[in-house]
Amino acid sequence: MNIFMDIVVCIKWVPNTTTVNIDQKTGTLIRSGVPSVINPHDMHALEMALALRDKFGGSVTAVTMAPPSARLGLEHAVGMGCDKAVLVTDMAYAGADTLATSYTLAKAISRLKFDLILVGQETVDSSTAHIGAQLASWLHIPYLYYVVDAKYLGDGKMWVKRMLEDAYEEYELTLPALLAAAMHLTKPRRVKLSHKMRCKEEGVIEVWNNKTLGLEVNCVGLKGSPTIVKKTSFVAEVPRKKIVCQPRDIDQAAEWLISRLVEDGFLKI
Amino acid sequence: MSICSEWDKINPEEYVGVWAYLEVEDGSLSEAGLQMLGVARLLASQKDTYVGAVLIGRGVSSLAREAIYYGADRVYVADDERFEKYYPTLYGEALAYLAKEYKPEALLVAGTMRGREFTPYVANILKTGITADCTSFEVDSAAKDILGVRPTFGAYLIAHIRTLNRRPAIFTARPNVFPTPQKDLAREGEIIPTNPKVVDAVGVKLLGRSRFGRGAAPIEKAKILVSGGKGLGGKEGFTILEEFAKVIGGEVSGSRKAVDAGWITHDRQVGQTGKAVRADLYFAVGISGAVQHLFGIREVRCVVAINKDPDAPIFDNCDYGLVGDYTEIVPALIKAVKKIKESS
């Protein structure tokens, strides 16, 4: 098929939450020294986009809205094979909630030619799963979450399979549209050095600020965000009995435990 | 104060009432939606206002009375053949239309997969704040705002989130974190038929739907769960857990690591990226007890941990713990149950 699709993939450069530690004294997150990664869910969106492009032709552009350090994430995306990348960055965009973030991203994406937008299912740091739906709303395009498989049918149409709690659903979508890729779809490809070298070429990674986008300051960053974090606190520990033993006689311990659970009324035998 | 020109000007004072969207599942009200009705009831009593319930679909009118029995004062019903099939844009527009028309101050939607899909669309149409996956709510004593409280940063922290000056404040909440309210056949309420003006879903067409055979009962409804983690060492470890579950009338579930390893399916995953469970009794076998996992078992009444690592965090978060090799302990537990059965 020589018809091709221009695909935009939204990614987020996030602290690796599996290595985060908490300072028990001050009660804050220890972020220093925590390496950042491309949000693992977005890796699946990238893979889906690149696989579609490889099969049907077209282009893949990775987009992120973030502080300048997120350039590393875009370099990784280009290294995986994205044709282009755009870093949307401006102090005016700081403190944005999902409404302001999706607005800014939507305005940036509108400057690109696209048939399909792919996003990850959610992010591992804030886990809202909002941005996909909100982008679709700003851009007035149809969208679906939890996509496990997608094919281009030609004629501006796609076949999409998605998975809900108890069912698979198949859809026909008319492009332009937005899809959120499910996790565990396929293993995301690795970075190739030959691809990554392209980052040095002019125009491969573009940086857009608010001079480029020209957005109203009331619509972006903290000002464009209806929600604020009033405070953060720790997860309160659930009170538990904590009766722990390392039994020498396992059968005896097992009988003790089972009769205890029966007595407590948790087990009916 | 100047606001973004994309936003409609609203007067937050005009917005009153706490709404719950009720998802319909196989012709009845979903458990997760009813749990939202319970939360709405609590918040409405603190705010001294009414509880609204929203029903969207074809033939859903017959469920309106049921919604009143479970706690709604007013039920807004959009019963129309246009809503026979769910599409996120279609349901999103319908719910946004009703919120614009009837102006509730808060809207709660269960964070089922569909709920998480279409609720941000509603919030975006209304240009209001949305807080995802709330695990509790607070009413601010001064401003009387409803705050959503949610885990963030991989459940290491809890964020208390407030929606300023925009209404309704929208929240999704994890299924099974909140209890299902009692049904009270004596409750009375008002049923309000509505007709949301929305365009049909454009550019998206459902071709087919195939249920996957869920051999086992869903874990969120189980009273007893036997859950396996990385410490099982392999898929075959689940065989013994299944046998144990069968003997004590429970179901089998797993940790994220067991799901990632492909030993058990995602629909049986307990934890922050899986499901919250409300079992009476939960066996954590070979599960270290990462914060994300503990998050999913907060509402469990009794946690039993079995792990060969005495320093595993799960032992600080269990009621009973046995340190040792699960391949010896679990068969011993099965034997003990059988012995007690025989002697009784």
**What is the reported pLDDT for A19?**
63
ipTM over 0.85: yes
**Residue reference for tokens 């004590």:** B248
Work out the average pLDDT over B211-222: 77
Q: Which domain holds residue B311?
A: 219-343
Facing residue for A238 by CB, picked from B113, B317, B324: B317
**Is 60 exceeded by the pLDDT of residue B89?**
yes
Name the domain count of chain B.
2
Indicate if B189 and B223 belong to the same structural domain: no
Facing residue for B340 by CB, picked from A232, A233, A269: A269
**What is the reported pLDDT for A235?**
78
Query: Which of chain A's residues have a Cβ under 8 Å away from the Cβ of B155?
Result: 235
Angle at alpha carbon of residue B323, lines to A269 and A261, rounded to 5°: 20
Portion 143-172 of A in contact with B at CB < 8 A: 143-146, 159, 164-172
Give the domain ranges of chain A. 5-224
Indicate if B252 and B119 belong to the same structural domain: no
Walk along chain A (269 residues) and give the pLDDT tens digit of each residue.
446 799 999 999 998 866 666 665 655 666 667 789 999 999 999 999 999 999 999 999 999 999 999 999 999 999 999 999 999 999 999 999 999 999 999 999 999 999 999 999 999 888 899 999 999 999 999 999 999 999 999 889 999 999 998 899 999 999 999 999 997 657 899 999 999 999 999 999 999 999 999 999 999 999 999 999 998 888 778 899 999 999 999 999 999 999 999 999 999 98
Residue B175, in any domain of the structure = yes
Query: Which of chain B's residues have a Cβ under 8 Å away from the Cβ of A266?
Result: 224, 280-281, 301-302
**What is the reported pLDDT for B152?**
83
Chain B contact for A245, CB < 8 A? Answer: yes
Helix (H, G, I), strand (E, B) or coil at B219: helix
Pairing of strands B190-193, B18-21: unpaired
Stretch (H or E) spanning A73: helix A71-80
Nearest to A178 by CA among A99, A87, A109: A109
Confidence of residue B217 (pLDDT cuts 50, 70, 90): confident
Indicate if B182 and B299 belong to the same structural domain: no
Å between B112 CA and nearest CA of chain A: 8
Query: Which of chain A's residues have a Cβ under 8 Å away from the Cβ of B132?
Result: 127-130
Chain A interface test: which of B5, B124, B206, B308 (most A C-beta within 10 Å): B124
CATH class name, domain A5-224: alpha beta
Across the interface, whether the CB atoms of B207 and A172 are under 8 A apart is answered yes
Indicate if B120 and B248 belong to the same structural domain: no
In the listed set B159, B193, B227, which residue is the last one of a domain according to the structure? B193
**What is the reported pLDDT for B291?**
86
Residue B239, in any domain of the structure = yes
In the listed set B193, B211, B244, which residue is the last one of a domain according to the structure? B193
Total Cβ atoms within 10 A of residue A32: 5
Residue B4, in any domain of the structure = no
pLDDT in tens, B20-74: 999 998 899 999 999 999 999 999 999 999 999 999 999 999 999 999 999 999 9
**What is the reported pLDDT for A3?**
64
Residue B3, in any domain of the structure = no
Indicate if B242 and B127 belong to the same structural domain: no
Rounded CA separation A98/B184 (Å): 39
Indicate if B187 and B224 belong to the same structural domain: no
User: How far lies A162's CA from each of A185, A193, B157, B243, B258, in Å?
Assistant: 11, 33, 31, 33, 22
Indicate if B266 and B168 belong to the same structural domain: no
Across the interface, whether the CB atoms of A242 and B344 are under 8 A apart is answered no
Rounded CA separation B263/B226 (Å): 14
Indicate if B26 and B150 belong to the same structural domain: yes
Helix (H, G, I), strand (E, B) or coil at B208: strand
Across the interface, whether the CB atoms of A168 and B210 are under 8 A apart is answered yes
Pairing of strands B28-29, B24-25: antiparallel
Å between A203 CA and nearest CA of chain B: 31
Across the interface, whether the CB atoms of B304 and A143 are under 8 A apart is answered no
Across the interface, whether the CB atoms of B161 and A227 are under 8 A apart is answered yes
**What is the reported pLDDT for B109?**
98
Indicate if B80 and B223 belong to the same structural domain: no
Nearest to B126 by CA among B150, B105, B147, B146: B105
pLDDT in tens, B125-155: 999 999 999 999 999 888 789 999 998 877 7
Query: Which of chain A's residues have a Cβ under 8 Å away from the Cβ of B119?
Result: 133
Confidence of residue B343 (pLDDT cuts 50, 70, 90): confident
User: How far lies A239's CA from each of A242, B88, B155, B318, in Å?
Assistant: 9, 40, 18, 9
Across the interface, whether the CB atoms of B206 and A224 are under 8 A apart is answered no
pLDDT in tens, B151-206: 887 777 889 999 999 999 999 998 988 999 999 999 999 999 999 999 888 899 99
Query: Which of chain B's residues have a Cβ under 8 Å away from the Cβ of A145?
Result: 88, 113, 116-117
**What's CA A178's distance to the chain center, in Å?**
14
**What is the reported pLDDT for B136?**
93
Q: A128: phi > 0 → left, psi -120 to 50 → alpha, else beta; which?
A: alpha
Query: Which of chain B's residues have a Cβ under 8 Å away from the Cβ of A105?
Result: none
DSSP string, B75-131: EEEEE-GGGSS--HHHHHHHHHHHHHHH--SEEEEE-SHHHHHHHHHHHHHHT--EE
Alpha helices in chain B (DSSP H): 31-47, 64-69, 88-102, 113-126, 237-248, 256-260, 291-296, 326-343
Total Cβ atoms within 10 A of residue B84: 9
Residue B306, in any domain of the structure = yes
Find the residue in A nearest to B275 (Cα): A165
**Is 80 exceeded by the pLDDT of residue B83?**
yes
**What is the reported pLDDT for A31?**
63
Facing residue for A20 by CB, picked from B113, B154, B321: B154
Indicate if B184 and B124 belong to the same structural domain: yes
Rounded CA separation A250/A18 (Å): 34
Indicate if B88 and B176 belong to the same structural domain: yes
> Angle, to 10 degrees, between the axis of helix B113-126 and the axis of helix A98-110?
80
Å between B186 CA and nearest CA of chain A: 32
Residue B308 in tokens: 């060969």
DSSP string, A200-265: GSTTTEEEE-HHHH---GGGSGGGG-SEEEEEEEEPPPPP---EEE--SSHHHHHHHHHHHHHHTT
pLDDT in tens, B259-290: 888 899 888 999 987 888 999 999 999 999 99
**Is 60 exceeded by the pLDDT of residue B214?**
no
**Is 80 exceeded by the pLDDT of residue B213?**
no
Confidence of residue B1 (pLDDT cuts 50, 70, 90): low
Total Cβ atoms within 10 A of residue B56: 24
Q: What is the CATH number of the domain that holds B155?
A: 3.40.50.620
Å between B191 CA and nearest CA of chain A: 30
Indicate if B188 and B232 belong to the same structural domain: no
Query: Which of chain A's residues have a Cβ under 8 Å away from the Cβ of B257?
Result: none
pLDDT in tens, A28-80: 666 667 789 999 999 999 999 999 999 999 999 999 999 999 999 999 999 99
Rounded CA separation B191/B61 (Å): 9
Residue B66, in any domain of the structure = yes
